[in-house]
Amino acid sequence: MSELRVNRLGEQIKKEITYILSTKVKNHDLGFITVTEVKLTGDYSQATVYYTVLGGEKEKLKTSQSLQKIKGFIKSEIAKKIKIRKFPELVFTYDATSEYAMHIEQLIASVNKGEK
Protein backbone atom coordinates (compact mmCIF):
# COMPACT_ATOMS: atom_id res chain seq x y z
CA MET A 1 0.00 0.00 0.00
CA SER A 2 1.47 3.32 -0.97
CA GLU A 3 1.89 6.01 1.64
CA LEU A 4 0.12 8.51 -0.61
CA ARG A 5 -2.98 6.33 -0.76
CA VAL A 6 -2.95 5.82 3.02
CA ASN A 7 -2.70 9.59 3.58
CA ARG A 8 -5.43 10.32 1.06
CA LEU A 9 -7.78 7.83 2.71
CA GLY A 10 -6.96 9.32 6.12
CA GLU A 11 -7.91 12.79 4.88
CA GLN A 12 -11.15 11.45 3.40
CA ILE A 13 -12.03 9.76 6.71
CA LYS A 14 -11.25 13.01 8.55
CA LYS A 15 -13.62 14.98 6.31
CA GLU A 16 -16.39 12.42 6.76
CA ILE A 17 -16.00 12.33 10.56
CA THR A 18 -16.13 16.12 10.71
CA TYR A 19 -19.27 16.15 8.57
CA ILE A 20 -20.97 13.44 10.64
CA LEU A 21 -20.14 15.11 13.96
CA SER A 22 -21.43 18.47 12.77
CA THR A 23 -24.63 17.32 11.07
CA LYS A 24 -25.78 13.87 12.15
CA VAL A 25 -24.79 13.61 15.82
CA LYS A 26 -27.06 15.39 18.28
CA ASN A 27 -25.11 14.58 21.46
CA HIS A 28 -24.82 17.61 23.74
CA ASP A 29 -21.97 16.03 25.70
CA LEU A 30 -19.63 16.23 22.71
CA GLY A 31 -18.81 19.87 23.25
CA PHE A 32 -16.97 21.96 20.67
CA ILE A 33 -14.85 19.27 19.01
CA THR A 34 -12.34 19.63 16.19
CA VAL A 35 -10.85 16.66 14.36
CA THR A 36 -7.21 17.55 13.79
CA GLU A 37 -5.79 14.46 12.09
CA VAL A 38 -6.47 10.85 11.13
CA LYS A 39 -3.57 8.42 10.93
CA LEU A 40 -4.10 5.04 9.28
CA THR A 41 -1.96 1.97 9.69
CA GLY A 42 -0.44 0.64 6.49
CA ASP A 43 -2.80 -2.34 6.40
CA TYR A 44 -5.91 -0.19 7.04
CA SER A 45 -6.73 -2.11 10.22
CA GLN A 46 -6.81 0.92 12.52
CA ALA A 47 -7.50 4.62 12.12
CA THR A 48 -6.39 6.84 14.99
CA VAL A 49 -8.55 9.97 15.08
CA TYR A 50 -6.93 12.91 16.87
CA TYR A 51 -9.27 15.60 18.18
CA THR A 52 -9.29 18.70 20.38
CA VAL A 53 -12.05 20.09 22.57
CA LEU A 54 -12.67 23.65 23.64
CA GLY A 55 -12.90 23.75 27.43
CA GLY A 56 -11.37 22.22 30.50
CA GLU A 57 -10.83 18.71 31.80
CA LYS A 58 -14.55 18.18 32.41
CA GLU A 59 -15.37 18.83 28.75
CA LYS A 60 -12.52 16.58 27.61
CA LEU A 61 -13.81 13.71 29.74
CA LYS A 62 -17.42 14.15 28.56
CA THR A 63 -16.33 14.29 24.93
CA SER A 64 -14.12 11.22 25.29
CA GLN A 65 -16.97 9.22 26.82
CA SER A 66 -19.42 10.41 24.17
CA LEU A 67 -17.07 9.48 21.33
CA GLN A 68 -16.69 5.98 22.75
CA LYS A 69 -20.48 5.61 22.80
CA ILE A 70 -21.03 6.78 19.21
CA LYS A 71 -17.93 5.20 17.67
CA GLY A 72 -19.94 2.41 16.02
CA PHE A 73 -22.43 4.86 14.52
CA ILE A 74 -19.63 7.01 13.10
CA LYS A 75 -17.88 3.97 11.63
CA SER A 76 -21.07 2.69 9.97
CA GLU A 77 -21.89 6.12 8.51
CA ILE A 78 -18.40 6.53 7.05
CA ALA A 79 -18.38 2.97 5.70
CA LYS A 80 -21.53 3.81 3.70
CA LYS A 81 -19.67 6.63 1.92
CA ILE A 82 -16.15 5.20 1.60
CA LYS A 83 -16.12 1.86 -0.15
CA ILE A 84 -13.19 -0.27 1.01
CA ARG A 85 -13.18 -3.99 1.69
CA LYS A 86 -12.68 -3.83 5.45
CA PHE A 87 -13.18 -0.51 7.18
CA PRO A 88 -10.55 0.29 9.85
CA GLU A 89 -11.31 0.30 13.55
CA LEU A 90 -11.64 3.87 14.85
CA VAL A 91 -9.58 4.88 17.88
CA PHE A 92 -10.25 8.37 19.25
CA THR A 93 -7.28 10.06 20.92
CA TYR A 94 -7.13 13.53 22.45
CA ASP A 95 -4.58 15.73 20.64
CA ALA A 96 -2.59 17.63 23.24
CA THR A 97 -0.32 19.33 20.70
CA SER A 98 -1.87 22.79 21.13
CA GLU A 99 -1.61 22.59 24.92
CA TYR A 100 2.01 21.53 24.64
CA ALA A 101 2.73 24.44 22.28
CA MET A 102 1.14 26.91 24.71
CA HIS A 103 3.25 25.45 27.54
CA ILE A 104 6.44 25.90 25.49
CA GLU A 105 5.46 29.50 24.67
CA GLN A 106 4.93 30.21 28.38
CA LEU A 107 8.35 28.76 29.19
CA ILE A 108 10.01 30.87 26.50
CA ALA A 109 8.17 33.99 27.71
CA SER A 110 9.31 33.36 31.31
CA VAL A 111 12.91 32.90 30.18
CA ASN A 112 12.74 36.13 28.17
CA LYS A 113 11.38 38.01 31.19
CA GLY A 114 14.27 36.71 33.28
CA GLU A 115 16.83 37.99 30.77
CA LYS A 116 15.52 41.57 30.78
Taking the chain (116 residues) in runs of 10, the rounded mean pLDDT of each run is: 83 93 82 90 91 88 91 91 88 86 84 74
> Which amino acid does the sequence have at 40?
L
b/e code 54-87 from CB counts within 10 Å (16+ = b): eeeeebbebbeebbeebeeebbebbeeeeeeeeb
Q: pTM of the entire structure?
A: 0.81
Domains of the chain: 3-115 (3.30.300.20)
